[in-house]
Amino acid sequence: MAGYILAIDQGTTSSRAVVFDKEMTIVGIGQQEFAQHFPQSGWVEHDADEIWQSVLSTIRTALSKAGVSASDIAAIGITNQRETTVVWDRATGEPLHRAIVWQDRRTARFCDELKDKGLEKLFTKKTGLLLDPYFSGTKLSWILKNTAGLKDRAAAGEVCFGTVDSWLIYKLTAGKAHVTDATNASRTLIYNIDENRWDDELLDVLEIPKPMLPEVKDCAADFGKTDPSLFGVEIPILGVAGDQQAAVIGNACFEPGMMKSTYGTGCFALLNTGTERVSSSNRLLTTIAYRIDGVTTYALEGSIFIAGAAVQWLRDELGFIRVSSEVGSLAAKADPNQRIYLVPAFTGLGAPYWDADARGAVFGITRNTGPEEFARAALESVAYQTYDLLEAMKKDWSDGRGDTVLRVDGGMVASDWTMQKLADILDAPVDRPVILETTVLGAAWLAGWKAGVWPDAKGFSANWKRDRRFAPSMDGTERREAIDGWKDSVSRVLTRKT
């Protein structure tokens, strides 16, 4: 029996494919970057065909490195950059517009117009989301309004919309399946998370024809089979989850109160609230953590747009480091007497501020400020932004439920300096797992469990192992002063007061 699992991790800047064996050990990886397009200030686009070709290439590389053939693969799991919006011709499979990326801010004015009409409460009640350009709905509305004849074609069923998972499944199945999962659907601004269906009222507001929408399935389900022309055999696609929800699963955060935070290009923290939908009073998002066997598990989510991207800025734009891994050692050399704050609002601020027009700034610079201080400020900005999220989550959720331990993953967590700073600012323990590839592991588990190759959630949780726990050690007074300085800095870049 085929015992390997192939997981596709389609991210914002690169695509990866990872082959796991029966023991959930990685045996082969393929990775490929692809182009980022910035046609105007605040606009971010991807070439959907380039994404597809990069995924095909990485799958073949991963299989080759693992020394296995496609016939050895029991199932495929997919995790993907969420909210990124793809529109394509149903018959030909050709993209009809460049994919508009989750970071794109072109619909900020449209979101403001909807807010001015008093519609944000309606969207939040039904979707758990706020009216922000981050989400797919207004991006899709923009494409329909700005592509001649597209809305009529969409209404006639000739056009498909999907997030990246839908696009990849369509291509993998040679057009036989137009589907998505509940987690990706919950990020579109047009999916009712209480009733688990596309919402007609919200579709009308955004002028989106329903025939262009994919079928929504559980996270572990039959999403179709790969066309044999691709790999020589049919391989079932049995698991799908948006990248942040996949990280919840990969970190085995299956119980209410468990929390994970992923540090990649941005930072996304999710707190499992169980089958209870918790509405936020602090401008967090309520979202679907996963849906398995027809049971929906919800989460509170805080989204930070710039985390690892701040390190890339130090490297690529300022030239302070040659490679990202140098940033921790550089930050450790910073003058402890200088308190520099970087507010990395390069594409606006996410939770809990949701200010699309805010822009980045650095405060506290002196004549002695140099690369070391900038490096420390960049890493500390991640800790401060996480503090903002955790503070809001405690107000919405904790109320006597006890302390939360944060499980972390993503490229930045390899830095001991950064993780210790995070624990100090949060005044809470931070657990780093042995397996840092938790996002792709989550997608693989969905497929592996559905295929009968991997254990159930309880067995999977038992396999989760901690590499290190970072305990807070900062003096309370110092911590309070540092946080006060951060909050003052943020207040200076906000264009709208929360």
Handedness of CA 403, 408, 412, 413 (dihedral sign): positive
Q: Cis check for the bond before 352: say yes or no (omega within 30 of 0).
A: yes
Length of the chain: 498
Closest among 130, 426, 12, 463 to 259, alpha carbons compared: 426
Task: Classify domain 252-433+465-498 at the CATH topology level.
Answer: Nucleotidyltransferase; domain 5 (3.30.420)
* Predicted pLDDT of residue 249: 95
Handedness of CA 167, 172, 176, 182 (dihedral sign): negative
Q: For 66-158, where are the E strands, in sequence order?
A: 73-80, 86-89, 99-100
* Predicted pLDDT of residue 204: 97
Closest among 92, 98, 94, 205 to 147, alpha carbons compared: 98
Strand 73-80 with 237-242, pairing: parallel
158 neighbors 91 (Cβ within 8 angstroms): yes
| β-bridge mates for residue 292, sequence order | 295
CATH code that applies to domain 4-243: 3.30.420.40
Q: What are phi and psi of 303, to 5 degrees?
A: -115, 125
DSSP letter string, 416-476: HHHHHHHHHHHTS-EEEES---HHHHHHHHHHHHHTTSS--HHHHHHH--EEEEEPP-S-H
Closest among 123, 124, 130 to 108, alpha carbons compared: 130
Q: For 34-107, where are the E strands, in sequence order?
A: 45-46, 73-80, 86-89, 99-100
* Predicted pLDDT of residue 267: 87
- Residue 177, classed as helix, strand or coil, is coil
* Predicted pLDDT of residue 352: 87
- What is the Cα–Cα distance from 116 to 401, expressed in whole angstroms? 37
Phi-psi region of 454 (alpha: psi -120 to 50; beta: other; left: phi over 0): beta
* Predicted pLDDT of residue 402: 54
∠ CA 215-220-223, nearest 5°, is: 45
Closest among 51, 123, 114 to 84, alpha carbons compared: 51
Closest among 355, 405, 403, 412 to 382, alpha carbons compared: 412
Domain with CATH 3.30.420.40 in the chain: 4-243, 252-433+465-498
Residue 236 structure tokens:
């079932």
How far is residue 337 CA from its own chain's centroid?
36
467 neighbors 47 (Cβ within 8 angstroms): no
For the chain, counts of helices (H) and of strands (E): 17, 22
Distances (CA, A) of 272 to 126, 284, 307, 416: 19, 13, 22, 26
* Predicted pLDDT of residue 1: 54
Total Cβ atoms within 10 A of residue 315: 16
- What is the Cα–Cα distance from 463 to 383, expressed in whole angstroms? 28
Residue 326 structure tokens:
């140098």
- What is the Cα–Cα distance from 485 to 463, expressed in whole angstroms? 41
Q: Which residues does 88 contact at the CB level (< 8 Å), separation at least 6?
A: 48, 94, 95, 96, 159, 160, 162, 167, 170
- Residue 35, classed as helix, strand or coil, is coil
SS (H, E, C) 404-428: CCEEEECHHHHCHHHHHHHHHHHCC
Distances (CA, A) of 22 to 2, 5, 186, 249: 9, 8, 31, 18
Handedness of CA 248, 250, 255, 261 (dihedral sign): negative
Distances (CA, A) of 202 to 121, 124, 186, 432: 12, 11, 13, 40
How far is residue 84 CA from its own chain's centroid?
10
* Residue tagged 């990020």 (tokens): 187
pLDDT tens track, the chain, 498 positions? 578 999 999 998 889 999 999 988 899 999 998 988 999 988 999 999 999 999 999 999 999 999 999 999 999 999 999 999 999 999 999 999 999 998 898 999 999 999 999 999 999 999 999 998 989 999 999 999 999 999 999 999 999 999 999 999 999 999 999 999 999 999 999 999 999 999 999 999 999 999 999 999 999 999 999 999 999 999 999 999 999 999 999 999 998 888 899 888 788 899 898 998 988 888 889 999 999 999 999 999 988 888 888 888 889 888 888 888 888 889 889 999 999 999 999 888 888 888 878 899 999 999 999 999 999 999 999 999 999 988 888 888 765 455 667 899 888 888 888 899 999 999 889 999 988 888 999 999 999 999 999 999 999 998 888 899 999 999 999 999 999 999 999 999 998 754
Amino acid at 246: A
